[in-house]
């Protein structure tokens, strides 16, 4: 048991975090959970401490961390509780932990992902927002630190699986003449078939209820607006070294084909499977080997026909906003991501309507000043400025006069 690889699960109480712990539990002969982290959920992380006995448990929220410390000590567990935001970085750079699952949601996951990259870890990258806002910096940090980034986002993991080995190891896809395009599939979310009028009245409950995937609230809303697919276009550009014209988006409501690669001889390689994130998590954990993920085998006889259609760009303007941001370059990705994080939060809190999310994103992207971030400090300043801008247009009620 001594040569088991140590894994840190950043964001262990979330949807990806819980699935990661499940995959590790099935493969305890190979992996051990050495560190877990969460924001505020003390009960859940306490239960994880009891079950997995990690060396470290960290909480971003100081009060929650104090509460966890008391509980861990009352139970006499051998886990050290770390306090505050710096503790995530401490775990991400621990030389005794070679594998880091980056499963914090949003911009909040950026610092620890960058630290893991500089520290030469195998990063299982679920936190797509860090690649969206800091693609160049993160790739450079991984290169300098000799880290490996394996995508966990199901589409990117599917593409990763369908690429030639040299491209999995970092060679840029745009230089590979034999690869024509990457095809990202999208379920289309819960509102795929609604009219523009019906979209005006959808509720938070409907938006977080994804037809195929069981996910955290932010990514569920992103899937409903299709901003998720937009973020994934940006993520794919940085992960694989392609430009946005080399990425095609196809709506595939059954979520069985997770994405594809088109080759110059007419071949299309696809990765298929159940809609269960344990498959890409297990792939990222063990690559280039394969391990049990607890996922049911795909039964083709039970599948209805697989459908593919072009996305509806009118009802889902967020998709094109991502392409716009890529074309503009500079800090536009950071601005778009920040606006979207604010708009989604306000929608979940009941302060704006579903359709306002796209409006806030479009308006902030077009009007908020941005310049190329050359450092993490620049990037954080730009993120803060774009958040304030988005907050301001929501508070000032500019939404009601129509923004787009
Ligand atoms: P989630 O909301 O279920 O979990 C988020 C985790 O991050 C929790 O453990 C939470 O405690 C932690 N967290 C939240 N805010 C934090 C903060 N400020 N500081 C430190 N920790 C914080 O989210 P999820 O659905 O598991 O998604 C996680 C990431 O994976 C997201 O970036 C998402 O886009 C990506 N992803 C998720 C799925 C999925 O199926 N859930 C699929 C693909 C990609
Ligand atoms: Mg995805």
The confidence score (pLDDT) of residue 400 equals 54
The minimum-distance atom of ligand 1 relative to the CA of 41 is 11
| CATH dotted code for 162-275+283-401 | 1.10.1740.10
State whether the beta carbon of 14 lies less than 6 angstroms from ligand 1. yes
Q: Decide: 373 and 382 in contact? Cβ < 8 Å.
A: yes
CA pair distance 37, 81, nearest whole angstrom: 10
Percentage helix, strand, coil for the chain under 3-state DSSP, each rounded to 5 = 50, 15, 35
Determine the 3-state secondary structure of 32 from DSSP. Answer: strand
Q: Which residue owns the Cα nearest ligand 1 atom 18?
A: 108
pLDDT tens digit sequence for 340-380: 999 999 999 999 999 999 999 999 999 999 899 999 999 99
How far from 401 is each of 84, 344, 360, CA to CA, in Å?
A: 41, 20, 12
Q: What is the pLDDT of residue 212?
A: 87
pLDDT score of 401: 44
**Which ligand has the shortest distance to the CA of 89?**
1
**Measured in whole angstroms, how far is the alpha carbon of residue 192 from the centre of its chain?**
21
Q: Which residues surround ligand 2, an ion (CB under 5 A)?
A: 153-155
> For the chain, what's the residue count?
404
Encode pLDDT of 291-306 as tens digits: 999 999 999 998 889 9
Distance (Å) from CA 167 to ligand 2 centroid: 20
Substitution candidate for ligand 1 out of 219, 233, 259 with most atoms within 8 A of CB:
219
Cα gap 124→117, rounded to integer Å: 11
CA distance 122 to 130: 16
Q: Give residue limits of the domains in the chain.
A: 5-151, 162-275+283-401
Domain pair 5-151 / 162-275+283-401, same fold? no
Say what the pLDDT of residue 403 is.
Answer: 44
Nearest to 154 by CA among 122, 115, 124, 110: 124
Q: To test ligand 1's pocket by mutation, which of 68, 185, 215, 226 has the most ligand atoms within 8 angstroms of CB?
A: 215
Q: Which ligand is nearest to the CA of 102?
A: 1
Instruction: Return the best residue to mutate from 42, 103, 239 for the ligand 1 pocket (most ligand atoms within 8 A of CB).
Output: 103
pLDDT value at position 298? 96
Report residues of the chain scoring pLDDT below 70: 1-2, 85, 399-404
Ligand with smallest separation from the Cα of 280? 1
CA of 187 to the centre of ligand 2 (A): 10
| Domain 5-151: CATH superfamily, name plus number | NAD(P)-binding Rossmann-like Domain (3.40.50.720)
Residue 16 CA to ligand 1 centre (angstroms)? 7
Burial degree of 387 (CB within 10 A; 0-12, 13-18, 19+): buried
C-alpha–C-alpha distance, residues 156 and 188, integer Å:
17
* Residues 6+ positions from 125 with CB-CB distance below 8 Å: 102, 113, 131, 149, 150, 151, 152, 153, 239, 284
Cβ of 295: how many Cβ atoms within 10 Å?
A: 16
Residues 284-293, buried b or exposed e (16+ Cβ, 10 A)? bbbbeeebeb
Give the position, in ligand 1's atom list, of the atom nearest the Cα of 12. Answer: 9
**Burial (0-12, 13-18, 19+ Cβ within 10 Å), 245:** exposed
Pocket test for ligand 1, best of 8, 126, 208 (most atoms within 8 A of CB): 126
pTM for this entry: 0.97
Complete DSSP assignment for 39-105: SS-HHHHHHHHHHH--SEEEESSHHHHHHHHHHHHHTT-S-EEEESTHHHHHHHT-TT--EEEE---
Q: Is 273 exposed, middle or buried (0-12, 13-18, 19+ CB in 10 A)?
A: buried
CA 75 / ligand 1 centre spacing (Å): 28
Distance CA 249, CA 227 (A): 12
**Measured in angstroms, how far is the CA atom of residue 158 from the centroid of ligand 2?**
10
Closest among 220, 232, 152 to 184, alpha carbons compared: 232
Which ligand lies nearest the alpha carbon of 159?
2
């Amino acid at each position: 048991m001594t040569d088991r690889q140590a894994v840190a699960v950043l964001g262990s109480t979330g949807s990806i975090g819980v699935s990661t712990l499940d995959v590790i539990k099935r493969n305890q002969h190979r992996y051990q959970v050495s560190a877990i982290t969460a924001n505020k959920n003390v009960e859940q992380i306490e239960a994880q401490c009891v079950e997995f006995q990690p060396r470290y448990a960290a909480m971003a929220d100081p009060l929650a961390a104090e509460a966890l410390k008391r509980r861990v000590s009352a139970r006499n567990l051998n886990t050290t509780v770390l306090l505050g935001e710096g503790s995530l970085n401490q775990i991400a750079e621990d030389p005794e932990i070679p594998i880091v699952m980056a499963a914090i949601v949003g911009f909040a996951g950026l610092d620890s992902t960058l630290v893991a990259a500089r520290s030469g870890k195998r990063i299982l990258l679920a936190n797509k927002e860090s690649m969206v806002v800091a693609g160049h910096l993160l790739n450079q940090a991984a290169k300098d630190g000799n880290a490996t980034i394996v995508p966990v986002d199901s589409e990117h993991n599917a593409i990763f699986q369908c690429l030639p080995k040299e491209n999995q190891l970092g060679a840029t896809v745009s230089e590979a003449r034999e690869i024509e395009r990457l095809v990202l599939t999208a379920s289309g979310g819960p509102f795929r078939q609604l009219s523009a009028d019906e979209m005006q009245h959808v509720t938070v409950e409907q938006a977080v209820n994804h037809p195929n995937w069981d996910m955290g609230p932010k990514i569920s809303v992103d899937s409903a607006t299709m901003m998720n697919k937009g973020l994934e276009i940006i993520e794919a550009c940085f992960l694989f070294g392609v430009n946005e014209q080399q990425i095609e988006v196809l709506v595939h409501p059954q979520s069985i084909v997770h994405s594809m690669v088109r080759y110059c001889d007419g071949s299309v390689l696809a990765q298929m499977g159940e809609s269960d994130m344990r498959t890409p998590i297990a792939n990222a954990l063990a690559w280039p080997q394969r391990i049990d993920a607890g996922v049911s085998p795909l039964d083709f006889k039970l599948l209805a026909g697989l459908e593919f259609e072009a996305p509806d760009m009118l009802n889902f303007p967020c998709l094109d906003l991502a392409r716009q941001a890529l074309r503009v370059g500079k800090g536009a990705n950071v601005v778009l991501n920040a606006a979207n994080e604010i708009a989604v939060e306000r929608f979940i809190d009941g302060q704006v309507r579903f359709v306002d999310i796209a409006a806030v994103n479009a308006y902030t992207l077009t009007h908020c000043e941005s310049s190329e971030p050359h450092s993490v400090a620049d990037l954080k300043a730009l993120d803060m400025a774009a958040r304030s801008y988005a907050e301001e247009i929501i508070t000032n009620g500019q939404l009601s006069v129509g923004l787009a």
